[in-house]
Amino acid sequence: MARNSTWNRAVADLARDLGIYELVVKQHWHDLDRTLAPTTAVQALLGQLDSGSPTKAPNTTKAARKTVAAAPRPFARTGSNLYQWQQEALTAWEAADRQGVVQAVTGTGKTRLGIEAAFGELRAGGQVLVVVPTRTLLNQWHSNLEDTHALRAANTRVGLLGDGRFANFTGSDLIVSTIQSADGLRPPTRGLIVADECHRYGSDAWFNALHPQFSARLGLTATYERGDDGDSRLAQYFGEQPVYDIAYERAIRDGVVAHFKLAFVGARLSPQDKTEYENTEAKLKKSRSTLVAGFRLRADPHADFMKDVAKAAAGKWPTDPGGARQLAIRYMSAFQRRARILAESEAKTRRLADLRPVADSARGTLIFTQTISAATTAAELYSNVGQGAAVISSELSSDERERLLTSFREGGKSVITAPRVLDEGVDVPDADLAIVVTASSSRRQMIQRMGRVLRKKQDGRLARMVILYAEGTIEDPNKGAHESFNDIAWDVADSAMIFGSHKRADDIHRFLLEPSV
């Protein structure tokens, strides 16, 4: 209330100073202390300033606009119904002087939150830049903005930058830009930047696109922490900790995302695959030990170790670059071989085939793989499910990927299989079954994969997530695999079970297809 009153009175005092108080305030605004500023009064004031109040010089008008723009103000709402968490997040962001990150798990409505913040900035006379990491997100944001009635009613000029579009703030009130294109954009005098998937922008290549001229900054992400040097860059721009955080426990409790079942389904490697896996694992352990003890690579966390391995493999390690390079290359080769064994084993292919009846009952199925080969195999297995299956991979053009996703959303395809490209920023609201053939070691990726099918369903139906694992390997949950993700998923699922390789397919079907009690 105090912040609202401050802004309300600033506008009223300014109108009085300009000699247009009677015209602006008394006519449109009877209660200066109410919770939300009356937009009619603000519009009237700015209209008078635009027309150049009869007795005022242009420089006075410019100063007046600056005063109104800089004053603390309440949010102008689009009129859409917000979840309680979204209202709380906006309030927390405002209290942090409109600079900070909102961390919200996938499927909870971060885009809706960003649009609300953008609308508030536009109504206060500012301009807005929304930055996104991919073309898919560029188009999704544009579609959501076009569907926002309040923006259309206000004749908001929405421009696109990137993917062959070249908007600027001379002709646009709000620009949605890929992060690659935003670096060269001239920022507005006053405005808000909304950084979607902001955790990605801590890299050397992309951080410069976060222009310091934006005094209002809103970062949106499911997982803010990167685990590398980019964290410090993002902290300087947005702040160290999120100003608001909503996890799946709250999101499910509040009905923001769908309830779900979780199944871990084990596969027993063939003797040949098991032998190859064990030999490869032994080579990895030996190489890692030498890299850490002999060349002083960082042992933990794993992300830092892998970063050092990449540096050594490029011949840039300060201690014995030649020796470090040779060993690092051997390590990376073995690492890739192990990943291929786990991704493409015949045992997992058989288990994936066992799950086809579950996909038959789903509205939409997403199958996450590690390799294009595994994605192709999965698509062949599921080719007779519903309207068929399609592979989305980096081998396809952006247009081809978008066409297949659109077909999936509209029911033209029932199954999408993909290596990684579905991990982030893809909106597939009707998908209700996720099958992870190869679990990622990244907690962020696993949370994002889960989020792809947890978007709230209009009919209230359950979502289901299945994680395949090779028994006795680094994937096995009985051996502590993916502990940080499993702890989260296990706690928030309506029900969760581990099915070893000895369990029949019927047992898995019964668990996944029966409604929760």
Distance CA 476, CA 501 (A): 11
pLDDT digits (tens, 9 = 90+) for 286-316: 999 999 999 999 998 887 899 899 999 999 9
Question: What's the domain range around 224?
Answer: 84-253
Same domain, 182 and 146: yes
Asked if 317 and 428 sit in the same domain, the reply is no
Residue 76: inside a domain, yes or no?
no
CA 510, distance to chain mean position in Å, is 33
Residue 24 and residue 172 in one domain:
no
Mean residue pLDDT of the chain comes to 84
pLDDT tens-digit map of 329-338: 999 999 999 9
Instruction: Give me the pLDDT at residue 290, please.
Output: 95
Task: Please tell me the predicted confidence (pLDDT) of residue 281.
Answer: 96
User: Do 276 and 405 belong to one domain?
Assistant: no
Residue 121 pLDDT grade (very low, low, confident, very high; cuts 50, 70, 90): very high
Whether the CB-CB separation of 79 and 112 falls below 8 Å is answered with no
Same domain, 223 and 309: no
Nearest to 144 by CA among 182, 174, 183: 174
Q: Percent of the chain, pLDDT > 90? A: 55
* Separation between Cα atoms, residue 366 and residue 449, nearest integer Å: 9
Strands laid side by side in the 463-470 sheet:
389-391, 415-419, 365-369, 433-436, 463-470, 260-267, 495-499
For the segment 215-243, what is each residue's pLDDT rounded down to a tens digit? Answer: 999 999 988 887 777 888 999 999 989 99
- Whether the pLDDT of residue 17 is over 80: the answer is no
Phi/psi at 303 (nearest 5 deg)?
A: -60, -40
Q: What is the band of 30 on the pLDDT scale with cuts at 50, 70, 90?
A: very low
Query: Is 231 within a domain?
Result: yes
* Of 169-178, 276-285, 425-434, 497-506, the least confident: 425-434
Looking at residue 191, the DSSP 8-state letter turns out to be: E
CB atoms within 10 A of CB 508: 20
Does residue 79 lie in a domain region? no
Nearest in space to 186 (alpha carbons), one of 197, 174, 170: 170
Closest to 430 (Cα-Cα) out of 374, 386, 483: 386
Same domain, 161 and 247: yes
Q: Using only C-alpha atoms, what is the Rg of the chain?
A: 27
Q: What is the number of structural domains in the chain?
A: 4
Q: Which residues pair with 194 in a beta bridge?
A: 130, 218
Residue that is last in its domain, among 253, 285, 306: 253
By DSSP bridging, strand 165-166 and strand 158-162 are: antiparallel
- Are 128 and 178 in the same domain? yes
Whether 58 is in a domain gets the answer: yes
What is the pLDDT at residue 480?
A: 84
Does 126 lie in the same domain as 218? yes
What confidence tens digit (pLDDT) does each residue in 52-75 have?
Answer: 444 444 454 555 555 555 544 444
* CB-count exposure of residue 42 (10 Å: 0-12, 13-18, 19+): buried
φ and ψ of 465, to 5 deg? -130, 130
- Give a yes or no: residue 113 inside a domain: yes
Q: Which residues contact 94 (CB under 8 A, 6 or more apart)?
A: 3, 74, 75
Asked whether residue 405 falls in the same domain as residue 370, the answer is yes
Burial of 147 (0-12, 13-18, 19+ CB in 10 A): exposed
Question: 238 and 356, same structural domain?
Answer: no
Q: What is the pLDDT of residue 153?
A: 82
Is pLDDT at 321 greater than 80 in this prediction?
yes
> Residue 365: helix, strand or coil by DSSP?
strand
Are 399 and 490 within one domain? yes
- Does the residue 77 lie in any domain? no
CATH of the domain at 236: 3.40.50.300
CB atoms within 10 A of CB 215: 14
What is the reported pLDDT for 231? 87
Question: 408: which 2 tokens?
Answer: 């999936």
125 shares its domain with 233: yes
Could you tell me which residue, 442 or 213, shows the higher pLDDT? Answer: 213
Domain boundary among 26, 41, 70: 70
Work out the end-to-end distance of the chain between its first and last CA atoms, rounded to an integer number of angstroms.
45
For residue 456, tell me if it sits in a domain: yes
User: How far is it, in rounded angstroms, from Cα 144 to Cα 517?
Assistant: 36
